Amino acid sequence: MINKLSALLNAANISLSDQQKHQLVGYVEMLHKWNKAYNLTSVRDPEQMLVRHILDSIVVEPHLQGSRFIDVGTGPGLPGIPLAIVRPDAHFTLLDSLGKRVRFLRQVQHELKLENITPVQSRVEDFPSDPPFDGVISRAFASLNDMLSWCHHLPANNGAFYALKGVLPEDEIAALPAGFSVSKSVRLVVPQLEGERHLVIIQAD
């Protein structure tokens, strides 16, 4: 698994320490083990998890600005846990409304000794933003419109929304609510992943 991960990282021009690689593989192993009972992801094969969960998450890291992030609808910790591993100097709040997912996240936090994550069980609209966040991240969480309406209270004044999408959602971008605009959209390259990946960065006007 370490060799497979190293090859994927090389293909993506991402350089990580041995400790970070071991943490990422440890996370995949936990995800695979817990998935049997908890049904955390539809991806069953650990090698596919490396591509579709790990690489797919960490290619976003160079585009994140700031040090305090919240991953809304994190599920089993995606993209928050891989991002927390590759950016240890930033802090990630991992928010999900399902107790079983948050229990899994706490176990990951404990076993991998991740000091820079805070798993929280809450609905996003009920979660107080104090202090506000530099970035609000979501992956396969909701439409852009829903994301902004549910999470509008979370970012700081100069904070941003980071939406991880497949194909660029032109119709969702065209329908953004007043007061928000796309500051950047980036086509992400994920080695060995079929289909498109985009990051849409949105800020308040």
Could you please report the per-residue DSSP string of 169-203? -HHHHHTPPTTEEEEEEEE---TT--S--EEEEEE
Residue 125 in marked binding region: yes
* C-beta of residue 136 within 8 angstroms of C-beta of residue 73: no
Number of Cβ within 10 Å of residue 85's Cβ equals: 27
**133-191: pLDDT as tens digits:** 999 999 978 899 999 999 999 999 999 999 999 999 999 999 999 999 999 999 999 99
Report pTM. 0.97
pLDDT at site 22: 98
Residue 200 in marked binding region: no
DSSP designation for 16: -
CA 85-128-147 angle, 5° bins: 70
Residue 139 in marked binding region: yes
Q: How far, in Å, CA of 142 to CA of 75, rounded? A: 13
| Beta strands 133-139 and 117-121, pairing class | unpaired
pLDDT at site 140: 79
Residue 106 in marked binding region: no
SS3 78: coil
Distances (CA, A) of 204 to 12, 61, 73: 31, 21, 21
Residue 190 in marked binding region: no
Q: How far, in Å, CA of 164 to CA of 55, rounded? A: 13
For the chain, list residues with pLDDT below 70. Answer: none
Tokens of 114: 């991740």
pLDDT at site 141: 81
